[in-house]
Amino acid sequence: MFEYTSKIRVRYGETDQMGYMYYGNYAEFYEVGRVEMLRSLGMTYSAMEASGIIMPVLELKCKYLKPALYDEEISVKVIMEKMPAVKIHFKYELYNPDNELINIGETLLAFINVKTNRPCLPSVEFLDKLKPFFQ
């Protein structure tokens, strides 16, 4: 299993009139978590795209437990429970500054070959970087 946690501060423009983070912005926090998780492995989305692989989101699940509030620093934990194949599944846990679980979510992404627009396996480099976490 691979886990990575990053922190993101809720900005004013991401909130509604009550000071709660707008519900649609949680998916953006998931994306930031994924990007930072890849970066922690020494990889980037832009490098993956340059190699001819894109990763569209196929499914999104999101459950709101407590609100994220303006100016709070939110911890975004990204969890990968199994090695990816043609698809990659992520779970998310968001915590407020008091370390209370405020949101859980999941996304399912696919690896797509840009030239053929067909599903493909992730790069060997990506799989090699993940192997130590799944042995």
Active site residues: 16
Query: Which token pair is 16?
Result: 């509604």
Sign (positive/negative) of CA torsion 65, 71, 77, 78? positive
At 52 the three-state DSSP class reads coil
